[in-house]
């Protein structure tokens, strides 16, 4: 009787170990699978602080809490499978100024952006629907080119790593931007079978010149430390959730209407969460 029980237990243990080994060897292909008229709606939350200094003067010291409804609507898919996506945003923006305790609480839509994305995640282009969005579109394109995963051509398994690097030329000389990605695990997440991609990046984002009423930003750069996890539904082919923390050390050279040129330093720390709310798949 004891021998039978022992044999049964050993058999169950062997099966368990075998299943564990098979799960560890799970391999998947990561690709966007976007189709015309597909619609993905996300809820984004961004919470963090912004400190802007000009010498010893504090120009801004605020805590921001931004809730955004972001929608991707796939307008078309080209013959090479590049998807044309209309991205719309509605922001609920709350900002507490730490200097005088004033509070801004407002809801406002943002003009649409047109994104062109390949199945492997390569962002081909971002086109703003309005001219005033040109600077943001340029910034976002550089951010995602350096920090978003370009999916490997081959199948991946847990523990697989890859890196993306590029050289950014600044007025003071070239500097390298690099992000490292790791397949941490596979997980059932918000109803989808997901591959979990962890990432750590050091991004370099040069700023486009832009002009406001009181000053013109001639040039500048943001050095960004980015860490996060992305849950990607590999069967359906889209992001389910992206969690990120980014820390920005930035500089801007401003020319004011008085003619004065001022070097401004910007420090930003934000926690970001983009979570899928609904998916319409034709």
Chain mean position to CA 204: 15
Cα separation, 133 vs 142, whole angstroms:
14
Cα separation, 185 vs 263, whole angstroms:
44
Residues forming a β-bridge with 33? none
SS3 for 20? helix
- Give how many domains the chain has, as a whole number: 1
For position 23, what pLDDT does the model report?
Answer: 47
- The answer to whether 123 and 145 are in contact (CB under 8 A) is yes
Cα separation, 24 vs 151, whole angstroms:
20
For position 135, what pLDDT does the model report?
Answer: 86
Q: How far apart are the first and last CA of the chain?
A: 59
pLDDT above 90 coverage of the chain, percent = 79
CATH of the domain at 274: 2.30.230
Cα separation, 93 vs 35, whole angstroms:
32
Range of the domain at 126: 2-280
Segment 135-146, tens digit of pLDDT? 889 999 999 999
Segment 223-277, tens digit of pLDDT? 999 999 999 999 999 999 999 999 999 999 999 888 889 999 999 999 999 999 9
- CB atoms near residue 155 (< 10 Å): 11
Q: If you average pLDDT over residues 40-52, what whole number do you get?
A: 98
Q: What is the mean pLDDT of the chain?
A: 91
For position 214, what pLDDT does the model report?
Answer: 84
């Amino acid at each position: 009787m004891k021998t039978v029980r022992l044999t049964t237990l050993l058999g169950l243990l062997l099966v368990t170990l075998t299943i564990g080994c098979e799960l560890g060897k799970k391999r998947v292909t990561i690709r966007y699978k976007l189709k015309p008229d597909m619609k993905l709606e996300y809820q984004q939350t961004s919470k963090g602080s912004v400190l802007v200094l000009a010498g010893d003067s504090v120009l801004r010291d605020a805590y921001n809490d931004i809730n955004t409804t972001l929608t991707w609507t796939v307008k078309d898919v080209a013959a090479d499978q590049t998807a044309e996506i209309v991205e719309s945003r509605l922001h609920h923006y709350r900002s507490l100024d730490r200097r005088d305790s004033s509070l801004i609480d407002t809801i406002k839509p943002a003009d649409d952006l047109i994104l062109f994305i390949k199945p492997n995640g390569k962002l081909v282009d971002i086109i703003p629907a309005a001219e005033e969005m040109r600077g943001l579109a340029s910034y976002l394109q550089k951010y995602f080119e350096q920090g978003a995963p370009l999916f490997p051509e081959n199948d991946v398994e847990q523990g697989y790593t890859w890196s993306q690097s590029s050289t950014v030329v600044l007025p003071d000389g070239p500097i390298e931007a690099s992000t490292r990605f790791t397949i941490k695990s596979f997980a059932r997440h918000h109803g989808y079978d997901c591959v979990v991609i962890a990432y750590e990046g050091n991004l370099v984002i040069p700023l486009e010149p832009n002009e406001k009423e009181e000053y013109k930003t001639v040039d500048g750069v943001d050095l960004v430390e980015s860490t996060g996890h992305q849950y990607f539904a590999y069967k359906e082919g889209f992001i389910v959730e992206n969690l990120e923390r980014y820390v920005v050390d930035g500089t801007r050279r401003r020319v004011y209407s008085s003619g004065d040129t001022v070097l401004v330093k910007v420090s930003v720390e934000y926690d970001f969460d983009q979570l899928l709310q609904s998916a319409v798949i034709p």
